[in-house]
Structure 1
Amino acid sequence: MARILIVDDAKFMRMTLTNILQKGNHQVVGEADNGRIGIELYKELKPDIVTMDITMPEMNGLEAVKHIKSLDPNSIIIMCSALGQQKLVVEAIESGAKDFIVKPFDESRVLEAVSRVLEK
């Protein structure tokens, strides 16, 4: 079971991910609606995995990934992107994200990504 922090500005997306992750026997330890809050919660909660939306107000997912990676090079971050954001996903992976999932979320794809990053 992984302890997971969800960072997404859309409450519906956070709820959807929470439901999927809990079905997969993972624990959602926190939620943030922008990258800045996500970084603060990362420091406080020390989750096993962060799911990070790319497009958010205040601080986007790319900036937040770089910041979390500078705090903790071993952090595990899975990017969440809408279709058509491939260029940003590549940039996120180059910045240290381990995997990505595409919205709308497919339950099996989300749980596969979590399993995959935990095995690395």
Structure 2
Amino acid sequence: MIDEQEKQEWYEFNQETIEALIADGSNADAPHTIEYHFAHADFDILEKAAVDAFKAGFEVGDAEELMLDDGGTVFCFDAVVERMLDPDLINKDTDALVQIANKHKIHYDGWGTYFIE
């Protein structure tokens, strides 16, 4: 479960990531494809979270199975949306997606995007 303190840490991550993208020259005036990452060992649980993310307005990619260093497996999916590099918008997404992660007891692993010229 992500508590309020950890959510604040995600907000800081959001701000730092946005600042780094802009400092590196990514176009702050263009929308970016933001991919929010989720994982869980149980595919069925992850699938329910993916449905909720879709209902919340995100495009949901197909789940992938990944092998862990310890030999175990985990299933992952991305919830994708086009956003400006606006911390308020990304924090709002974080709030919605953390709520989904907490509801289904799955792992929320932040987000990434691609450099836009």
When normalised by structure 1's length, the TM-score is 0.28
Q: TM-score normalized by structure 2? A: 0.29
Tell me which structure has the larger Cα radius of gyration: 2
